[in-house]
């Protein structure tokens, strides 16, 4: 019985990490207001999800605008000065990266970036 309990505990701990087994790895930076207009929905305020956990994506993920509305689960995995908080967030794509060239794979709203990182610098992220 004890072996079964230990096995169940280990399996439950591993299952929380399984969602990232097939994740992509990229970089992330923060972008700052004003967030409007966006390339996805212009000046519509209702495009932003609760908690302002949204992102703009670079050319590699943009897919000629098909990325609009996509949702990603992401977390910080590394960076300078140990920036990662260890939390996972769900974000929604609302824009195309405004900088040319884009400074990272994904550019997070201030709220999204602060949810996963302690510093305002480029970080490495895992997303699915």
Residue spans of the domains in the chain: they are 20-127
Q: What is the pTM of this model?
A: 0.82
Q: How far apart are CA 70 and CA 54, in angstroms?
A: 10
> In sequence order, what are the residues at sequence separation of 6 or more whose Cβ sits closer than 8 angstroms to the Cβ of residue 88?
73, 74, 75, 116
Q: How far apart are CA 86 and CA 74, in angstroms?
A: 10
Query: How do residues 26-67 score in pLDDT, each as one tens digit?
Result: 999 999 999 999 999 999 999 999 999 999 999 999 999 999
- Look at the domain 20-127 and name its fold: Barwin-like endoglucanases (2.40.40)
Query: How do residues 64-73 score in pLDDT, each as one tens digit?
Result: 999 999 999 9
Residue with tokens 């709220």: 111
């Amino acid at each position: 019985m004890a072996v079964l309990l230990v096995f169940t505990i280990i399996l439950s701990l591993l299952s929380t990490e399984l969602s990232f087994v097939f994740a992509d790895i990229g970089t992330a930076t923060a972008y700052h207001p004003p967030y409007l207009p966006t390339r996805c929905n212009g000046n519509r305020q209702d495009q932003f999800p609760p908690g302002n956990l949204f992102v703009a994506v670079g050319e590699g993920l943009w897919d000629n605008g098909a990325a609009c509305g996509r949702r990603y689960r992401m977390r910080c995995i590394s960076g300078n000065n140990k920036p990662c908080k260890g939390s996972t967030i769900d974000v929604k794509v609302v824009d195309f990266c405004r900088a040319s060239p884009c400074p990272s794979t994904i550019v997070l709203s201030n709220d999204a970036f602060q949810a996963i990182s302690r510093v305002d610098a480029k970080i490495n992220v895992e997303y699915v």
